[in-house]
């Protein structure tokens, strides 16, 4: 649905107001010890995670279309503090758009998050702007101010002002997202406060993959190679991902050594493909990996293809319910085995 003029700006004001009301209530009622949310970034085109323990700081919470970080990243391992010389796990309220809530739900199924220790402060996400795409568009121009108004992204700097169409600079995964608010179910009724939606499954036509899937294997390989050609293996995508919580990542292991440490294309592709296998049935489509990439690489194609494979073979979408186990954590005799035959 195309938004009407002025809708985005007005929505952000309303989302921010309701989010602060819920967060303030949770702290006052002592239902949580700390609130994790978004604050103004120190530079334009950014926002910053914020941890709030005092009610008077609640007005520092913001919501705008640059809140790209998946805040679930900050609760694994659990937040703790010492009380009377004893380490105590804190109860945490987390500002959650749909993908953040889905990450928290999936992390709970992987026993990384205790649902009794969190409150999901639900908000209805209206999309995140891809800041890296804007930076590439502007080149060396320094951005001093950015705002979203009337379905336009207005970027200002010294001696210039650019007006960009909002839909054109929206995160690609936001365009296909079907879960804008936290998904509610009976097992989550005591966990989710604020906005939520009743949803048990996601129907997705994956039409955005049609062009890629129409190509020959050789052409597909060219697309992937081109996509990853600028990768420097800085691992920013890994660090931003809420599902990458291993104490020792496979890329850092030396027994066994999975691939070389060079900047050769073969090593770069092995890193991304092995990481993709680790994300199968776990990616929640938040796009944080693409938002933080300093080279502006959008991993949407790989992530969406993974999502489609898992949906078609196991009828599973990550992070919708505490009651449905992920395909990589369970086994059924009727599971399809055609994956062993490969795919063109």
Distance separating alpha carbons of residues 18 and 269, to the nearest angstrom: 43
**Which pLDDT score is estimated for 340?**
58
Ordered alpha helix ranges (H), 95-170: 98-109, 131-138
Give the pLDDT of residue 82: 87
Q: In the chain, which ranges are E strands?
A: 34-40, 47-52, 80-83, 86-89, 92-96, 118-122, 143-149, 152-157, 160-165, 183-184, 192-194, 197-198
Structure tokens at 202: 């996601």
Report the pLDDT value the prediction gives residue 5, as an integer from 0 to 100: 41
At residue 314, does pLDDT exceed 60?
yes
Q: Give the model's confidence band at 296: pLDDT under 50 very low, under 70 low, under 90 confident, else very high.
A: confident
| More reliable by pLDDT, 250 or 5 | 250
Task: Please tell me the predicted confidence (pLDDT) of residue 224.
Answer: 94
Given a cut of 90, whether residue 8 has pLDDT beyond it is no
Q: Which of 26, 329, 11 is nearest to 191 (CA)?
A: 26
* pLDDT higher than 90, residue 331: no
pLDDT of residue 2: 41
Q: What is the pLDDT of residues 222-280, one digit of tens each?
A: 999 999 999 999 999 999 999 999 988 888 888 877 777 777 898 899 899 889 989 99
3-class DSSP state of 220 = helix
Domain ranges (residues) in the chain = 206-341
* Average of per-residue pLDDT across 110-117: 94
**In sequence order, which residues have a C-beta less than 8 Å from that of residue 275 and are 6 or more positions away?**
237, 238, 244, 250, 251
What is this structure's pTM? Answer: 0.90
182 confidence band (pLDDT: 50, 70, 90) = very high
Q: Please list, in sequence order, all residues whose beta carbon lies within 8 angstroms of the beta carbon of residue 282, skipping any fewer than 6 positions away.
A: 106, 243, 318, 326, 328
Q: Which two tokens stand for residue 231?
A: 């990768």
Q: Which residues pair with 86 in a beta bridge?
A: 83
- Under the banding of pLDDT at 50, 70 and 90, the label for residue 101 is very high
The pLDDT > 90 percentage for the chain reads 60
């Amino acid at each position: 649905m195309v938004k009407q003029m002025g809708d985005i700006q007005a929505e952000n004001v309303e989302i921010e107001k309701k989010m602060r009301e819920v967060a303030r209530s949770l702290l006052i009622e002592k239902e949580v010890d700390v609130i994790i949310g978004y604050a103004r970034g120190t530079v334009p085109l950014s926002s910053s995670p914020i941890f709030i323990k005092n009610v008077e700081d609640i007005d520092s919470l913001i919501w705008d279309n640059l809140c790209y970080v998946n805040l679930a990243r900050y609760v694994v391992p659990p937040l703790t503090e010492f009380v009377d010389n004893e380490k105590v796990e804190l109860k945490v309220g987390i500002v959650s758009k749909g993908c953040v809530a889905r990450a928290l739900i999936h992390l709970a199924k992987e026993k990384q998050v205790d649902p009794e220790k969190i409150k999901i402060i639900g908000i209805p996400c209206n999309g995140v702007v891809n800041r890296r795409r804007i930076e590439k568009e502007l080149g060396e121009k320094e951005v001093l101010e950015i705002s979203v108004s009337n379905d336009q992204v207005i970027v200002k700097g010294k001696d210039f002002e650019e007006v960009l169409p909002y839909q054109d600079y929206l995160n690609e995964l936001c365009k296909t997202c079907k879960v804008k608010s936290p998904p509610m179910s009976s097992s989550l009724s005591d966990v989710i406060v604020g906005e939520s939606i009743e949803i048990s499954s996601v129907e997705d036509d994956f039409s955005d993959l049609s062009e890629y899937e129409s190509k020959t294997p050789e052409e597909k390989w060219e697309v992937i190679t081109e996509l990853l050609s600028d990768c420097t293996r800085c691992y920013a995508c890994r660090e931003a991902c809420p599902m990458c919580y291993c104490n020792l990542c496979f890329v850092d292991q030396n027994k066994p050594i999975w691939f070389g440490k060079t900047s050769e294309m073969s090593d770069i592709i092995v890193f991304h493909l092995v990481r993709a296998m680790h994300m199968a049935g776990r990616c929640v489509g938040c796009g944080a990996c693409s938002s933080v990439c300093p080279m502006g690489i959008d991993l949407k194609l790989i992530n969406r293809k993974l999502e489609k494979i898992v949906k078609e073979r196991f009828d599973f979408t990550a992070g919708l319910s505490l009651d449905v186990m992920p395909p990589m954590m369970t086994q059924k005799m009727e599971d399809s085995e055609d994956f062993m035959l490969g795919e063109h």
